[in-house]
């Protein structure tokens, strides 16, 4: 009997003897190299990937293709929108006018303009479903799930591992957290970020670093600190003043705190620097983990993360620098990235990959632009992204890190080709009439890819005249996941096991060949 939701094509066609060998290896003690060795006689060589780490920039909510990397200046007004275009440093290629810094650096990266979801229309245009599809590299939801049920735990669900969990699984060392997600997790409990059938030991470490966010809209983007529901009336603008619609004071603090590793209060820098005491504590934890390996997997995972997190903060960078402590960076570097939440997130990401973390995911909220789209994109989202990402790319290039660091940036979907209010006669939370924006659209969305040995300066895939559908080659989240695995040098025939010892192919799509 197959597991619920299991797809036969995901499984490796190994013979009985090979299956017996694989089944005899414990999940917690097995790396991808163990499985590869079992098939060494039947597989050819695979080129070694250049990527040593990946920074995945998740534009939560789904950015508009029109207002970023695929403008349509010749389209009608209700398609092209309010913005103009800017020429990139690639002849004939245009970006949105509010991305001038990225336009001048277009030769440092490539853009896939034709990412798309191929699942049913009921699923491809909803956040929860698209979160799962993107982050697991899937083209279908688990069998039996809907847009609503995928948000909740469900007995018997066969859930594919996240890309982050796959990267953790395929890593060479578990001394540090292999995958870290920043800077806010309490607002980012989305489907698809878990380890699925791999088990809790391969979950990523979600870290809260930013100040508390009081935005009344969960899609608000701090510390640009706004809500798409914000009124246009200046007297009601967010702030501490009487009559303000809401108080955004806490979000205006540009400084991150150090992470809480789960064993008491948030650690201060002096505590982190007491290395001998901490390392003695780590040794005690390691003995506890050894004793509990076959008892409670959740408890084992909890202590393992604590162990890894403390090691990361006390002994990872030269001179034992804590990668989360941005006070160790120069004022010039802080300004290069931007002294706000997104910029600080990029800077922490750079320090984490220098420390040896294999995957860092930066969550950039605020891209669900149903209303006040052109006000908020121009005034908040696009200038911030343009500055932070440009500084990040420049810094990686100058430090010689870009060639071995894969950068991937996209949202879970795109936006509708045509502009309209989400409700023609309705009002938003602040009591003002809904203003125009673009709505959910999973038929096409852009993805930026840089570094990690990929070819740069390319626009891959073309959309139709309204940027509503792919006009030539198109790519799924499975292809994006395969591209990431290929950049790391993970073999196309590689497999993993679930807790019962059943093997599955890691690849479910094909790498984007134009990138290699």
Q: What is the pLDDT of residues 215-236, one digit of tens each?
A: 887 666 655 678 899 999 999 9
Q: What is the pLDDT of residues 436-475, one digit of tens each?
A: 999 999 999 999 999 999 999 999 999 999 999 999 999 9
CB 323 within 8 A of CB 183: no
Radius of gyration of the chain (CA): 23
Arithmetic mean of pLDDT, 71-99:
98
- E-strand ranges in 102-178 read 109-115
Edge-to-edge, what's the strand order for the sheet holding 179-182?
205-206, 179-182, 359-364, 53-59, 405-410, 445-451, 109-115, 459-460
Beta-carbon-side half-sphere exposure of residue 486 (alpha carbons within 13 Å): 19
Count of other CB atoms within 10 angstroms of residue 229: 22
Q: Return the structure tokens found at 432.
A: 């003002």
Q: What is the pLDDT of residues 18-36, one digit of tens each?
A: 433 333 333 333 333 333 3
Burial of 402 (C-beta count, 10 Å sphere; 0-12/13-18/19+): buried
What integer best gives the mean pLDDT of the chain? 84
Give the pairing of strands 405-410 and 445-451. antiparallel
CB 495 within 8 A of CB 197: no
Q: What is the pLDDT of residues 35-65, one digit of tens each?
A: 333 333 334 445 578 999 999 999 999 999 9
Arithmetic mean of pLDDT, 61-77:
97
Count of other CB atoms within 10 angstroms of residue 386: 21
Q: What is the pLDDT of residues 7-19, one digit of tens each?
A: 655 655 544 334 3
Give the pairing of strands 94-96 and 109-115. unpaired
Bridge partners, 96 (sequence order):
85
Euclidean distance between the first and the last CA atom of the chain, given in angstroms as a whole number: 40
**Residues 6 or more apart in contact with residue 466 via CB below 8 angstroms:** 72, 75, 79, 417, 418
Question: How confident is the model at residue 278, as a pLDDT?
Answer: 53
CA distance 204 to 455: 28
Banded model confidence at residue 213, pLDDT cuts 50, 70, 90: confident
Beta-carbon-side half-sphere exposure of residue 329 (alpha carbons within 13 Å): 23
If you ran DSSP here, which 8-state letter would residue 206 be given? Answer: E
If you ran DSSP here, which 8-state letter would residue 257 be given? Answer: P
Q: Return the structure tokens found at 275.
A: 């290395």
Beta-carbon-side half-sphere exposure of residue 104 (alpha carbons within 13 Å): 8
- Which string of DSSP letters, residue by residue, matches 327-378? GGS-HHHHHHH-SSHHHHHHHHHHHHHHHT-SEEEEEE-----SSSHHHHII
178: nearest Cα among 190, 187, 188, 166: 166
Cα 283 to its chain centre, rounded Å, is 32
Model confidence at 102: pLDDT above 90: yes
The domain locations on the chain are 8-151+163-210+329-419+439-515, 214-255, 258-323
**Residues 6 or more apart in contact with residue 352 via CB below 8 angstroms:** 180, 312, 323, 360
- pTM to 2 decimals? 0.85
Question: How confident is the model at residue 294, as a pLDDT?
Answer: 42
Domain 8-151+163-210+329-419+439-515 has CATH 2.60.40.1180: no
Q: What is the pLDDT of residues 406-445, one digit of tens each?
A: 999 999 999 999 999 999 889 999 999 999 999 999 999 9
Q: Return the structure tokens found at 409.
A: 């940036």
- H/E stretch holding 94 reads strand 94-96
139: nearest Cα among 201, 101, 192: 192
Backbone angles phi, psi at 20, to 5 degrees: -65, -40
Report angle CA 260, 58, 152 to the nearest 5 degrees: 70
464: nearest Cα among 86, 79, 77, 95: 79
- H/E stretch holding 389 reads helix 382-398
Distances (CA, A) of 432 to 25, 228, 231, 423, 429: 61, 11, 6, 12, 8
CB 162 within 8 A of CB 194: yes
């Amino acid at each position: 009997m197959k597991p619920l939701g299991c797809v036969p094509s995901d499984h490796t066609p190994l013979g009985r003897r090979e299956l017996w060998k694989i089944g005899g290896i414990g999940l917690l003690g097995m790396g991808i190299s163990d499985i590869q060795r079992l098939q060494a006689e039947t597989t050819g060589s695979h080129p070694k990937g250049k990527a040593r780490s990946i920074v995945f920039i998740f534009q939560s909510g789904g950015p508009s293709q029109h207002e970023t990397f695929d403008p349509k200046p010749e389209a009608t007004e209700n398609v092209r929108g309010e913005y103009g275009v800017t020429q990139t440093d690639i002849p004939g290629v245009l970006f949105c006018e509010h991305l001038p810094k990225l336009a001048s650096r277009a030769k440092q990266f490539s853009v896939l303009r034709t990412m798309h979801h191929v699942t049913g229309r009921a699923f491809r245009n909803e956040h929860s479903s698209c979160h799962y599809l993107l982050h697991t590299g899937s083209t279908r939801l688990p069998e039996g799930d809907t847009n609503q049920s995928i948000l909740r735990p469900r007995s018997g669900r066969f859930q594919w591992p996240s890309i982050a969990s796959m990267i953790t699984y395929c890593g060479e060392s578990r001394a540090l957290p292999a995958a870290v997600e920043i800077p806010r997790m309490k607002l980012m409990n989305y489907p698809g970020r878990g380890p699925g059938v791999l088990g809790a030991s391969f979950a990523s470490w979600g870290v809260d670093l930013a100040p508390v966010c009081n935005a009344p809209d969960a899609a608000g983007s701090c510390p640009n600190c706004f809500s798409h529901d914000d009124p246009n009336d200046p007297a009601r603008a967010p702030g501490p003043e009487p009559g303000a619609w809401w108080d955004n004071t806490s979000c205006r603090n540009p400084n991150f705190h150090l992470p809480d590793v789960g064993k008491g209060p948030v650690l201060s820098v002096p505590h982190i620097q007491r290395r001998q005491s901490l390392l003695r504590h780590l040794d005690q934890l390691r003995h506890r983990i050894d004793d509990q390996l076959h008892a409670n997997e959740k408890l084992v995972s909890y202590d393992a993360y604590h162990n890894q997190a403390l090691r990361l903060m006390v002994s990872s960078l030269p001179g034992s620098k804590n990668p989360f402590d941005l006070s160790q960076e120069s004022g010039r570097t802080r300004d290069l990235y931007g002294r706000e939440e997104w910029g600080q997130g990029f800077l922490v990401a750079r320090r984490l990959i220098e420390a040896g973390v294999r995957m860092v995911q930066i969550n950039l909220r605020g891209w669900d632009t149903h209303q006040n789209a052109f006000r908020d994109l121009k005034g908040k989202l696009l200038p911030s992204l343009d500055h932070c990402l440009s500084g990040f790319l420049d810094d990686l290039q100058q430090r010689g890190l870009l060639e071995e660091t894969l950068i991937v940036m996209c949202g879970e979907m795109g936006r509708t080709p045509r502009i309209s209010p989400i409700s023609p006669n309705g009002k938003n939370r602040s009591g003002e009439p809904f203003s125009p924006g673009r709505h959910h659209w999973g038929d096409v969305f852009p993805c930026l890819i840089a570094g990690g040995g990929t070819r740069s300066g390319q626009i891959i895939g073309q959309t139709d005249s309204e940027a509503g559908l792919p006009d030539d080659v198109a790519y799924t989240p499975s292809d994006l996941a395969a591209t990431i695995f290929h950049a790391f040098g993970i073999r196309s025939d590689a497999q993993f096991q679930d807790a019962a010892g059943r093997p599955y192919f890691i690849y479910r799509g094909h790498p984007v060949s134009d990138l290699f």
